[in-house]
Amino acid sequence: MAGKLDTKVAIITGASSGIGAATAIALAEEGAQVAITARRSERLNEVAQKIEAVGGKALPIVTDISDETQVNSLVRHVHTTLGRIDILVNNAGMGALGTVEEAIQQSGGNSST
């Protein structure tokens, strides 16, 4: 596979679904080696299989990005295994739909102040 990102290494967080998975596949299609991370290993492996099916190279690494130790370990692992890091797509997260007051209440805060 030859593309604009040949020789590049990318880390994509939140790559087990949605925007992160689609981004990982798109970067791999352009030739990047992609380290794909999230908490659900089964979903990550499915995305890795899709990447390999289109001729790309994926390195799935289970990581909870809310844990600094796991994030440091992720970066070391990618650098050691793939030799470089050129791109970070820091996509992992979750959306909350609702009002500001509802978000404050869901987080255990007090919306009356």
Ligand X SMILES: NC(=O)c1ccc[n+]([C@@H]2O[C@H](COP(=O)([O-])OP(=O)(O)OC[C@H]3O[C@@H](n4cnc5c(N)ncnc54)[C@H](OP(=O)(O)O)[C@@H]3O)[C@@H](O)[C@H]2O)c1
Could you say which of 5, 9, 16, 89 contacts ligand X (CB under 6 A)? 16
Hey, what are 110's tokens? 């007090």
Nearer to ligand X, 13 or 33 (CB): 13
Q: Does 95 bind ligand X (CB under 6 A)?
A: yes
Could you say which of 38, 58, 61, 74 contacts ligand X (CB under 6 A)? 38
Tell me if residue 92 falls in helix, strand or coil: coil
Hey, what are 34's tokens? 């992609």
Nearer to ligand X, 66 or 69 (CB): 66
Cβ neighbours of residue 35 closer than 8 Å, sequence gap 6 or more: 9, 10, 11, 12, 58, 59, 60, 61, 74, 77, 78, 81, 82
- Nearest alpha carbon to residue 20 among 30, 2, 35: 35
Hey, what are 49's tokens? 């299989």
Nearer to ligand X, 70 or 105 (CB): 70
Could you say which of 6, 7, 40, 76 contacts ligand X (CB under 6 A)? 40
Nearer to ligand X, 9 or 15 (CB): 15
Kindly list the residues in this chain that would bind ligand X in the complex (CB under 6 A).
13-20, 38-40, 43, 63-66, 91-95
